Amino acid sequence: MKILGIDEAGRGPVIGPLVICGYMIDDDNIPELKKLGVKDSKLLTAKKRSSMLARLMELSDDMVILKVSAKEIDKTRTISNLNKMEIEKMQHIINLLNPDVAKIDALEANTKKFHAKVACKIDKRIKLVTENFADKNHIEVGAASIVAKVHRDDEITKLHEKYGFFGTGYPSDPRTIRFLKDWIEKNKEFPDFVRSSWITAQCIKSEKEQTGLKDF
């Protein structure tokens, strides 16, 4: 039986892409994931996640990794919302890989409604499991969370190398906020790897514009 786990990394940051992973594995190989120590990526160090990646690739039956750029996220939010976009990406992954069972870390607290939103555009023969904290409770989803996080971290490392260190990219990180403020001070507009539609980015830009008006 083919089991597909789906999870994402980078939903909340103001900088960098959102990465969604669909990780499919034959249920006969599930014990190997347990041996490897697979769990929710947030419970593992970056070094441990990276060390698992090659073996996870070997054990998978198939895999899809979707990277949604900050620019695409901003564009989506002008006509829709992030949840709807992610659901469409998840449906695409499920239909592409055609598993026997698909398990998803639900984006919404009301898992019954979330289940219905996903189920409406996938093959009815596929058993769909949608749960909050599925990355902790289902090892296949944990595997997907690890792969997504490693790829997200790789993208952030590339941005650090090109533009300078800005921390995690999350609004709660003071290093990220300092980077954004410095960027706006020098360039007036955010680059395309920043989610300009995020309230954090909008407030920083607005604050700078208000300061400019006072100076004028």
- Cα–Cα dist 54/49, whole Å: 10
Q: What are phi and psi of 169, to 5 degrees?
A: 90, 0
Residue 111 lies in a domain: yes
39: left (phi over 0), alpha (psi -120 to 50) or beta: beta
Nearby residues of 168 by Cβ (< 8 Å), 6 or more positions away: 13, 156, 175, 176
128 and 148 together in one domain? yes
- Cα–Cα dist 56/187, whole Å: 42
68 and 127 together in one domain? yes
CA-closest candidate to residue 141, choices 192, 171, 107 = 107
pTM of structure: 0.93
Residue 153 lies in a domain: yes
120 and 105 together in one domain? yes
138 and 178 together in one domain? no
145 and 182 together in one domain? no
Residue 216 lies in a domain: no
128 and 173 together in one domain? no
Residue 11 lies in a domain: yes
Domain C-terminal end among 160, 180, 199: 160
- Cα–Cα dist 124/135, whole Å: 23
CATH of the domain at 39: 3.30.420.10
Cβ count within 10 A of residue 157:
11
Q: What are phi and psi of 143, to 5 degrees?
A: -60, -45
Residue 108 lies in a domain: yes
Question: Average pLDDT of the chain?
Answer: 94
114, 130 Cβ separation under 8 angstroms = yes
Residue 118 lies in a domain: yes
105 and 201 together in one domain? no
Residue 194 lies in a domain: yes
122 and 207 together in one domain? no
Residues in the chain predicted with pLDDT less than 70, given as ranges, are: 209-216
- Per-residue confidence (pLDDT) for residue 207, from 0 to 100: 84
201, 167 Cβ separation under 8 angstroms = no
- Cα–Cα dist 53/60, whole Å: 11
Please write the tens of the pLDDT for every residue from 36-92: 999 999 999 999 999 999 999 999 999 999 999 999 999 999 988 999 999 999 999
139 and 193 together in one domain? no
133 and 65 together in one domain? yes
CATH of the domain at 199: 1.10.10.460
91 and 77 together in one domain? yes
In which domain, by residue range, is 72 found? 2-160
Q: How many domains in the chain?
A: 2
Residue whose token pair is 């790897």: 193
151 and 51 together in one domain? yes
- Per-residue confidence (pLDDT) for residue 213, from 0 to 100: 44
Residue 15 lies in a domain: yes
User: Could you tell me the CA-to-CA distances from 205 to 110, 210, 211, 216 in Å, in that order?
Assistant: 34, 9, 10, 17
Nearby residues of 69 by Cβ (< 8 Å), 6 or more positions away: 17, 192, 193
